[in-house]
A and B are shown apart, each in its own frame.
Chain A
Amino acid sequence: GDSVTQMEGPVTLSEEAFLTINCTYTATGYPSLFWYVQYPGEGLQLLLKATKADDKGSNKGFEATYRKETTSFHLEKGSVQVSDSAVYFCAPAERSGSEKLVFGKGTKLTVNP
């Protein structure tokens, strides 16, 4: 089945720093790719997605590009804020009927003022 490897956390940055969280995946098919974010004590929120090669997903200043040749979907943000502190999950979705998400352990981001 599909699997995902995310950059080990935790990641600690100062406000306005540049963020990169690496994500690579293995998949037997052609998955859709997602980034979800989980704030403390909450469920997961969709951050962005891409459904085919070279697609760029973007939302709230975050971006990620679907790189089929390197099976990667790295998350970037040019200037992080304290409010971005959360756990970030990269998830390929197996395409067998409705999409089944495959999550890694996540990357915890802490942004200090």
Chain B
Amino acid sequence: DAGVTQSPTHLIKTRGQQVTLRCSPKSGHDTVSWYQQALGQGPQFIFQYYEEEERQRGNFPDRFSGHQFPNYSSELNVNALLLGDSALYLCASSLYTAGVAFFGQGTRLTVV
């Protein structure tokens, strides 16, 4: 079992650009959640996808959007990047019916 895999591991983007991060959930999981972890802080919930729909959303602007595919994998898109978007982006997968969340290694995004 490969666990939760995220790509890329590191990314450098310029302010104003757009970025797409990818996540493959753990085998058997149907729900993907995304978190943003700024340096020295705890992860903050961005949103959660189940059955290809956004089910819950945290306090993030519309610049943050996502998608879930029929194979349960997911993408996180961020438009009009700001310097403050620099963070570790974590993907977590679980079962929608009350499962434990398993995290990937994260994507380190640096906006310059």
Contacts A89-B42, A105-B42 given; indicate if A98 touches B50 (C-beta within 8 A): yes
B88 to chain A, nearest CB (A): 8
- Chain B residue nearest to A108 (CB atoms) is B40
Which residues in A have their C-beta under 8 angstroms from that of B105? 42-43
B33, B42, B55, B103: the one within 8 Å of A106 (CB): B42
Verify A97–B50 contact, CB threshold 8 A: yes
CA distance A98 to B97 in the complex (A): 6
Mark B19-50 against chain A: 1 for CB-CB distance below 8 A, else 0. Answer: 00000000000010101000011111100101
How many interface contacts (CB-CB < 8 Å) are there between A and B?
Answer: 67
Which residues in B have their C-beta under 8 angstroms from that of A17? none
A11 to chain B, nearest CB (A): 15
Verify A98–B94 contact, CB threshold 8 A: yes
CA distance A104 to B42 in the complex (A): 5
Which residues in A have their C-beta under 8 angstroms from that of B101? 46, 93, 99, 101
How many residues belonging to B are interface residues under a CB distance threshold of 8 Å?
30
CA distance A93 to B48 in the complex (A): 13
Which residues from 17 to 71 on chain A have a C-beta closer than 8 Å to any C-beta of chain B?
Answer: 32, 34, 36, 42-46, 49
Query: Does B90 reach chain A (CB closer than 8 Å)?
Result: yes
Verify B103–A45 contact, CB threshold 8 A: yes
10 smallest beta-carbon distances between A and B, as pairs: A103-B42, A44-B103, A43-B103, A43-B105, A98-B96, A98-B31, A43-B106, A103-B43, A105-B42, A106-B42
Starting from the known contacts A44-B92, A46-B101, 7 additional A-B residue pairs (CB-CB under 8 Å) come to: A36-B103, A98-B94, A99-B99, A100-B45, A101-B35, A105-B42, A106-B41
